[in-house]
Structure 1
Amino acid sequence: MPLAIDTRSTAYLQGQTLGLAVVLAVGIVVVRVLTRRWRNPVALAPEDLPRVTALRKKRRILLALATVVICALFTTKFVLDVRSETPYGSAAATGPTDRTVDAPDTVAGYHLITGEAAARLAAKTKSGTSEHFWFYSKAPGGTQPSVVFSASTAAWDPKEAAEKSEHSLEWLFVNFFAGAEVEDAKDVDPGPLGGLMRCGRTQSGNLVICHWEDAGTAGTVMTAGAVDIQQASTLALQFRNAAEH
């Protein structure tokens, strides 16, 4: 299953390094076998020996140079991949892991729904995980949510802590948006808290979902209606900056 393979993990990187070394080693052996006669021309007469000796030396130098160039090209590609925008290694290694998340009372004109209305909404969203859900209404004292904000931290959930230790941020995002049925998630500004944030529209088109991941927390802001990605990302960033400390 493709989602089970973390192509941005340290283990994948180590395996890729080993695989590259094996391919290069096998390739060098094959080339040396196939070019044995070419590298070792035979003098048919004594007077040809100086010329053949010089030719043998020249061909060996050319083959050595070609091998060095090929190795350099493979190494350059590998280094560029390592230095790509999405880091290799575990998500837990990308920043502080001791941040907390608290639901703010108001964010960008949205008001936290409390009391029995909040309890009823929370009962409908039980996920069997430690993820916390909060619901926000556009009107003070409202009971119908316009925005749903959820978050979790590694401190709340040992399973999440293990995933952040074992997998990369990229892997976490791929699996999250696959589950949310969002195919076109785009990178947006994660703000001063760092990590990564992406937003996308669900396949049904009814919701825009923005999700962030950092070393110790994860958060999601879901908005309904005709809101565009830019508006949703701005709102998600406001929620994150207000909630994560």
Structure 2
Amino acid sequence: MLAAADTHSDAYQAGQVLAPFILAAIALVILWTATRKWRRPQPVENPMAEDIDAAAKLARERTRRVVIGTVVIVVAAMAVAVPRIRQSGQYGSAASKGPTNLTITPPATLGSYRLMTGTQADRLSAQIAAKQTEFHTVSFYTTASEPTRPVVEVLSATSTTDPKLAQELAQHSADYENTSFMAGAHMSDAKIFNPGSAGGRMRCGSNSAQLLCAWTDSSTIGGLVSNATSGLDVQQIASLTQQFRVAAEH
């Protein structure tokens, strides 16, 4: 995972909300200290009782104005800041955004491709699993004309069977996990794509060797990969990823 702050986490959001209050409290202390002399009853020559009362009343009125003004400023600032913090819907842990007991069952078909089965599929899955230990399901899709040559590869994992993933999704946002996924795959040009009806967060990108769309939601992570020579483009990979998730996640 990236050693960076999760700017969409609950903790970060809490900090964003608390920061204006802290700054307002500091400003209030400074303002209170700076206006101390102004708020004090002013000395009156040859004071009469009514003059003393008037000076005290003026001091109380000035104090009241300082307090009310500060409160109004803080409330106004929060009325603007909080909706902006909340508006993207991406704040909070990934696990808090939906069900946490999803499973993944690769569909028999994916667009015009067919799920590869048999001993060769098992052998390829074992090879990938040995290198990508964080993924528990590896599926390959081929064309009808070349049933032994994978065109699309899908790697996925669920928090239902992976306690470590469950912990990460409960701690970090989908955006953070998705960004980390793409960074680990060295996809420097990754862009956010519509995740489709399955929701969560999805980014797609490419490098000199492959194209990749990765998703993260409340209970699953995964990526759909194709070689750069497959003839597919990023938009097509994104569409296939959406289709896979709708058919596979239950």
Q: Please state which band the TM-score falls in when normalised by the shorter chain.
A: 0.7 to 0.9
Does the 8 Å CA contact 1:154/1:216 hold for their aligned counterparts? Answer: yes
Query: Structure 1 residues 63 and 229 mapped into 2: Cα distance closer, same or farther (>3 Å)?
Result: farther
Q: What corresponds to 1:183 in structure 2? A: 188
1:46, distance to aligned residue in structure 2 (A): 5.0
Tell me the distance in 2 between the aligned counterparts of 1:103 and 1:34.
Answer: 68
Name the SS for the 1:230 alignment partner. Answer: helix
Aligned length: 243
TM-score, scaled relative to structure 1: 0.83
Alpha-carbon deviation of 1:153?
Answer: 0.7
Mark the CA change 1:206 to 1:70 in structure 2 (over 3 Å): closer, same or farther: farther
Q: Give the TM-score normalised by structure 2.
A: 0.81
Aligned position for 1:108: 111
Q: State the distance in 1 between where 2:2 and 2:161 align.
A: 28
| Segment drifting more, 94-103 vs 139-148 | 139-148
Spell out the pairing of 1:67-78 with structure 2 (5 A cutoff). 67-78=70-81
Residue 13 of structure 1 is matched in structure 2 by: 13
Please, which runs of 5 or more residues in structure 2 have no aligned partner?
none
Q: Say whether 1:87 aligns with 2:97.
A: no
Local SS of the residue matching 2:226: strand
**One-letter amino acid matched to 1:158:** P
Q: In the alignment, is residue 171 of structure 1 matched against residue 176 of structure 2?
A: yes
CA RMSD of superposed structures (Å): 2.9
Identity %: 37
2-side partners of 1:119 and 1:2: how far apart? Answer: 32
Separation (CA, whole Å) in 1 of partners of 2:76 and 2:233: 43
Which one is further off, 188-197 or 106-115? Answer: 188-197
- 1:128 and 2:130 are equivalent in the alignment: no
Task: Give the aligned residue type for 2:34.
Answer: L
Contact 2:21 2:74 in 1 (8 A): no
Tell me the secondary structure at the aligned position of residue 12 of structure 2.
Answer: helix
Q: Is the 8 A contact 2:106 2:248 kept in 1?
A: yes
Provide the rounded CA distance (Å) in 1 between the counterparts of 2:71 and 2:243. Answer: 52
Which 5+ residue runs of structure 1 have no aligned equivalent? none
Give per-residue Cα distances to partners, 1:105-135, cap 9 Å, x unaligned. 2211112223343234224322222432112
State whether residues 94 and 174 of structure 2, in contact with CA within 8 Å, keep that contact through their aligned partners in structure 1: yes
